[in-house]
Amino acid sequence: MLQSRTTLLSVIIPTLNEAENLPSLLADLKQQQNITLEIIVGDGGSTDATQSVAESSGATFVSARRGRGAQMNAATLRASGDYLLFLHADSRIEAPSLLSNAVAALITEQSEPGRIAGHFRLRFIRTTKLNAVAYRYAEEKTAFNRVNTTNGDQGLLLSREFFKYLGGFDESMPFLEDQRIAEKIRLEGRWMTLPGYLKTSARRFEAEGFHRRYILMSMMMGLYSIGEQKFFERAPGAYQVQQETGSLFLSPFFALIWLMMRKEWGLRGSLRVFYLLGRYIRQNSWQMFYFFDIRFRSLLGTDRYPFLNFHDRFFAPCTNFRVCNALTGLLCFVWFMMILAPYFRVVDQRWRS
C-alpha cells in the first residue's frame, strides 16, 4: 500500500502472465505524490510470477475468471477508495503528480450526480521508428472524446458511485469491455481528457504489424457497432492476450465474413450488414480528415486540425443521408471483400510458406 494524507484512489490492474511488465508499473505507482493509493491486481489465471510480484509490492491480489471485464469487476469488490482507476499492466507513468492532478481535475469537473469519467492521452513505447505517422495518428486521437476513441490503454478514472451506476464492466466477451463501458459512459454521463499522459507498450502493434492490427480493429469495431456478435463467437482469436500475440494473419477473418455472407446473412442480410457498415463508416469519416491533419502536422503546427474542422462544419452535414450510407457501404464491400480479402489471402500464404 502507498500511504499519503489525501484522497484514496483504488488502482485496479487486470493481469494475465504480466510478471515482466507489472514491476515497472508498480514502481511508477510508488513514485506518485499527494495521493493515497491502494493497488489491486485482478488476475485471470497467471502461470508465471505475477502473484508474487504483486504481493511483494504490497498490492492486493485477486483471482478471477479469465477476461478483463470479469477480472476488473472482481478486483473492484475489494476496493475501498471513493475513486477508481483502471490501468493496463503495460502502462507507464512518468510524472509523479499525474494521478493526484487527474483526481483533482475530475473532482473539479464533476457535477451532480457526478456522472463523469476521465481518460489520459497516450504515448507509445516503441522499439522501432517505423510507422511514425501512424503512431502519431493513434496518439493524438486519444485526446479526443469522440465515439470509439476511448479504450482501456488510456486508463479509466471515475467515482465508485458512477461505476456502480454503470453496472461495472460487461463480462459477456473476454475483450471489448473497454469499448462497451466507454460508450455507456457517453450515454449516461460524459468524458473528459485528464491532464498529462500515460505511456503504453506498442508490443501488440509491433508483434502483429501496425496496419494489420488496425485493419482488424476496424473490422471488429464496425461489426460490433452494428450488433453482429456472431462474428466474435466464430472468431475467438480476433483479440489475443498480449503474451500470445505474433504474426497476425487476416485471411481467416475475411474468410469468416464470406462464410457468414453465404450461410447466415444471405443476399438480403448482406446488403443490410454493408448498409449499416456504410452508416458506421460515414459517421466516422472524420478520421480520414483527421489523418490529413496528422500527415501535414509539420506544415500546420501543433494542435491544429483544419481538415477535421472542415469535416465537422461542412462534410458531415452534407453527407448525412441514406444514399450516402448505401454508397459508403458499397465502397466498404469493394475495399474489404474485393481488394483486401484477396490481397491478404495471397500475402498470408507467402508468410506461412
Is-contact 85 13, C-beta < 8 A? Answer: no
Runs of H (alpha helix) within 209-296: 210-225, 230-234, 251-260, 266-283, 286-295
Check residue 78 and give its pLDDT: 96
Q: pLDDT by residue (tens digit) across 193-227?
A: 999 999 999 988 998 899 999 999 999 999 999 99
Burial class of residue 147 (count of CB atoms within 10 Å of its CB; 0-12, 13-18, 19+):
middle
The per-residue b/e assignment along 111-126, b for 16 or more CB within 10 angstroms, e otherwise, is eeebbbbbbbbbbbeb
Determine the Cα–Cα distance for residues 70 and 75; give it in Å rounded to an integer: 9
Determine the Cα–Cα distance for residues 340 and 179; give it in Å rounded to an integer: 25
Determine the Cα–Cα distance for residues 52 and 19; give it in Å rounded to an integer: 9
Burial class of residue 64 (count of CB atoms within 10 Å of its CB; 0-12, 13-18, 19+):
buried
Cβ count within 10 A of residue 311: 21
Low-confidence stretches of the chain (pLDDT beneath 70)? 1-6, 112-113, 236-246, 353
Give me the domains of the chain, ranges plus CATH numbers: 8-201 (3.90.550.10), 208-352 (no CATH)
Task: Look at strands 83-86 and 8-15 and give their pairing.
Answer: parallel
Is-contact 36 9, C-beta < 8 A? Answer: yes
Judged by DSSP in three states, 95 sits in coil
C-alpha cell of 339? Answer: 481488394
Q: pLDDT by residue (tens digit) across 110-138?
A: 876 679 999 999 999 999 889 999 999 99
Check residue 240 and give its pLDDT: 52
H or E segment to which residue 52 belongs: helix 50-56
